[in-house]
Chain A
Amino acid sequence: MISIRKVSKHYGSFQVLTDCSTDVQKGEVIVVCGPSGSGKSTLIKCVNGLEPFQQGEILVNGISVGDPKTNLSKLRAHVGMVFQNFELFPHMSVTDNLAIAQIKVLGRGREEAVDRGLKLLDRVGLLAQADKFPGQLSGGQQQRVAIARALAMDPICMLFDEPTSALDPEMVNEVLDVMVGLALGGMTMMVVTHEMGFARRVAHRVIFMDQGRIVEDAPKEAFFGTPRSERAQQFLSKILHH
């Protein structure tokens, strides 16, 4: 589904990603973790072309993201993305947030788009908030709407960029529950997160990044059991012991 081949990226002389390679199969859930500044968010944003990269190749469903001839908009329409800061459109109601891209990008009729949006809003447990504006919702609710908005585009895979990092602790679980539901439903997911509980529950593989490199890429049992690299061991002991 997603194939990342020797991807490198630099801002000027600063190397952000070095030689990153991995594959995500259909239905697989991959958790990407690592210290801040390790390039994990950058890597996930390269997958849908929000961040350009200079070397290597990324294929999504066989389509090359870096190829200038690729219609990136068309590709992105079917790759859902959820952001750290939700990024709902504050000047639109929840319903319009859910419908706008379906109408303008997929060419669906308004009625169909709203219908589909509300179904997904119900699935994330927020049907009652349909007419509210993002500013009237809590962070956790906003992020659930953002997930529903991405799902409304019928994505072939979902990218999550630290979806719970900006949330108050008591709201983290309501978002993770939605994500667990998605994972158990067979959605292909690439998730940048520090929520190791989520990784233990539903991830198939865990990727550990440090200084722009993929240091460890292992099935979750192996990763949590006996991480090979010292850097990953240190990282795990730090985030698991408090």
Chain B
Amino acid sequence: MYEFDWSSIPGALPFLWAGMKTTLEITALAVAVGIVWGTLLAIMRMSGIRLLSWFAAGYVNLFRSIPLVMVLLWFFLIVPALMESVFSIPRTSDTRLASAMVAFALFEAAYYAEIIRAGIQSVHKGQMGAALALGMSYGQAMRLVVLPQAFRNMVPLLLTQGIILFQDTSLVYVSSLADFFGAAYKVGDRDGRLVELLLFAGAVYFLICFSASLLVKRFQKKVIA
């Protein structure tokens, strides 16, 4: 019978907290950039300009058809070289966090684009007509009239996607970046207490995601009411 020994966790808390901060940083940035870039992609995809809608459709389909782990690995390999040639940052510096952020942001944008496109389409078509009839430009009508309504309808979906992303950030372990999961793994590996540490990490992920999704549900009820 396996004997649990949790004693290595209390001492490792500061290190684990630092990992959690990395996880939260990646999540927050990917959500923020993902929503902005995703909105642009959604607008491009719905625009009458063929080149733009093709580009957006291609982008979304590409990222949605590739496993996230592979996208992450690509960026770990590509971003350092890019930083070296464009910003002349030496390859030796640690760009793992930056490349993880870029990879997640670009990847999530593809998912956000589809959510946002559905959100924009959920706004009654006459709203755009009314805004244009008042003399607004297409951009003004989108920004002032259509998008605010679309986002209000979408908030629960966007938050749910954020929760999924929060879990997916654990995939950065492929670059041995110490996010929360990576930090837990490292501590467990060091102390020979992998089972305890991974159980602990799992419990923390569960607690955070479960309470976040409860909040989303509550919010959803408020929006519908």
Q: Beta-carbon contacts of A75-116 to B below 8 Å, as 1s and 0s?
A: 111111101010111110000000011001110000000000
Chain A residues whose CB sits within 8 angstroms of the CB of B149 once the complex forms: 89-91
B224 shortest CB reach to chain A, Å = 13
What is the size, in residues, of chain B's interface with A at 8 Å between Cβ atoms? 18
How many A-B Cβ pairs are below 8 Å? Answer: 63
Q: Beta-carbon contacts of B112-148 to A below 8 Å, as 1s and 0s?
A: 0000000000001011011111111100100011001
Q: Contact: B127 with A76, CB < 8 Å?
A: no
Choose one: A75, A91, A149, A153; the contact of B148 (CB below 8 Å): A91
* Chain A residue with the shortest CB-CB distance to B130: A87
Q: Contact: B144 with A100, CB < 8 Å?
A: yes
Q: Contact: B129 with A83, CB < 8 Å?
A: yes
Q: Contact: B130 with A76, CB < 8 Å?
A: no
A73 located at the interface, meaning its Cβ lies under 8 Å from any Cβ of chain B in the complex = yes
Q: Contact: A83 with B135, CB < 8 Å?
A: no
A84 to B148, CA, bound (A): 23
Q: Contact: B134 with A50, CB < 8 Å?
A: no
Q: Contact: B126 with A73, CB < 8 Å?
A: no
Within A176-203, the residues touching B (CB, 8 Å) are: none
Q: Contact: B144 with A87, CB < 8 Å?
A: no
Residue among B124, B131, B148 having the largest count of chain A Cβ atoms under 10 Å: B131
Chain B residues whose CB sits within 8 angstroms of the CB of A242 once the complex forms: none
Q: A90-B149, A91-B148, A91-B152 are in contact. Are A83 and B126 (CB under 8 A)?
A: yes
Chain B residues whose CB sits within 8 angstroms of the CB of A89 once the complex forms: 127, 130-131, 145, 149
A104 to B144, CA, bound (A): 10
* Chain B residue with the shortest CB-CB distance to A149: B134
Q: Contact: A74 with B135, CB < 8 Å?
A: yes
* Chain B residue with the shortest CB-CB distance to A85: B126
Chain A residues whose CB sits within 8 angstroms of the CB of B145 once the complex forms: 89
Q: Contact: B129 with A87, CB < 8 Å?
A: yes
Choose one: B124, B129, B135, B148; the contact of A101 (CB below 8 Å): B135
A105 to B140, CA, bound (A): 9
Q: Beta-carbon contacts of B142-167 to A below 8 Å, as 1s and 0s?
A: 00110011001000000000000000
* Chain B residue with the shortest CB-CB distance to A159: B133
Known: A90-B149, A153-B134. 10 other contacts (CB 8 A): A48-B133, A75-B135, A76-B134, A81-B130, A81-B133, A87-B127, A89-B145, A91-B152, A100-B134, A101-B131
Subset of 6 A-B contacts with CB under 8 Å: A50-B129, A83-B129, A89-B130, A149-B134, A150-B133, A153-B135
Binding site for A on B (CB under 8 A): 124, 126-127, 129-137, 140, 144-145, 148-149, 152
Binding site for B on A (CB under 8 A): 45, 48, 50, 72-81, 83, 85, 87-91, 100-101, 104-106, 149-150, 153
Which 7 pairs across A and B sit closest by C-beta, in order of nearness? A77-B135, A87-B130, A101-B134, A81-B133, A105-B135, A87-B126, A76-B135
